Amino acid sequence: MFAHVRYTDKAEAILPVTLIKRFNPKHVNDFDASLKKTFWQDPSERAGKYYQAQVLKLAESKDDLLGEMIGLGLCIPPVIEGPYVVSAEEEEPSASSKQKKRAIMKARKKEMREVLQEKCESDRRQDLRAELQVLKKKIKFLEEELFEERKLCRSAQVALIKAYASGSCHKMQCSAVTTPPLPPSPLTAQPLLAGAQPTTPGIPTTQPLSFGTQAVEDDCTVHDEHDFWPAAAQQPDSLICQATPPGGPMLPVPCSREEVCLNSQDVPSMSRPDTIRQPDAVLFTNTGGQSTTDDISDKEYDSGEDFPLSREGKVILHKGVEIEKERFVWLMDSKGDSKFCKDVTRAIWTPEQLMCRSVTGSACKRNKGAQANRALTPKKLEAAKRAYRRFIRLHPTSEPAKERRRQTQKYIAQLLGDIMR
Condensed to tens digits (0 to 9), the pLDDT of residues 85-98 reads 544 444 455 557 78
Condensed to tens digits (0 to 9), the pLDDT of residues 328-359 reads 888 888 888 888 888 888 888 888 888 888 88
**What pLDDT score does 405 carry?**
87
Q: Which domains does the chain have, with CATH numbers?
A: 2-71 (no CATH), 96-294 (no CATH), 311-421 (1.10.10.2590)
Highest mean pLDDT among 3-7, 105-109, 236-240, 296-300 belongs to 3-7
Quote the CA–CA distance of 176 and 171 in Å, as a whole number: 10
Which residues are CB-contacts of 169 (< 8 A; sequence separation ≥ 6)? Answer: 240, 252, 253, 254, 255
Highest mean pLDDT among 56-70, 222-236, 296-310 belongs to 56-70
Distance set, CA 304 to CA 31, 190, 292, 298, 393 (Å)? 111, 16, 20, 11, 8
H or E element, residue 166? helix 97-174
Quote the CA–CA distance of 265 and 204 in Å, as a whole number: 7
H or E element, residue 4? strand 2-7
Decide if pLDDT at 410 tops 60.
Answer: yes
CA dihedral 240, 243, 244, 246 (to 10 degrees): 100
Helix crossing, 325-332 with 378-394: angle to 10°?
50
Decide if pLDDT at 221 tops 70.
Answer: no
**Portion of the chain with pLDDT greater than 90, in percent:** 7
**What pLDDT score does 52 carry?**
93
**What pLDDT score does 170 carry?**
57
Condensed to tens digits (0 to 9), the pLDDT of residues 170-179 reads 555 555 444 4
Decide if pLDDT at 276 tops 70.
Answer: no
Contact 52, 35 (CB under 8 A): yes
What does the chain come to in residues? 421
Longest dimension (CA), the chain: 153
Strands 315-318 and 321-323: antiparallel
Mean pLDDT confidence for 188-212 = 43
Which residues are CB-contacts of 4 (< 8 A; sequence separation ≥ 6)? Answer: 12, 13, 14, 55, 56, 57, 58, 59, 65, 69, 77
CA dihedral 144, 147, 148, 149 (to 10 degrees): 120
| Torsions phi, psi for 31 (to 5 deg) | -155, 165
**What pLDDT score does 111 carry?**
85
| Torsions phi, psi for 246 (to 5 deg) | -55, 135
Quote the CA–CA distance of 216 and 334 in Å, as a whole number: 29
Condensed to tens digits (0 to 9), the pLDDT of residues 223-272 reads 444 444 444 444 444 444 444 444 445 444 444 433 343 333 343 444 44
Three-state secondary structure call for residue 15: strand
**What pLDDT score does 375 carry?**
86
Three-state secondary structure call for residue 168: helix
**What pLDDT score does 187 carry?**
42
Which residues are CB-contacts of 108 (< 8 A; sequence separation ≥ 6)? Answer: none
**Amino acid residing at 177:** V
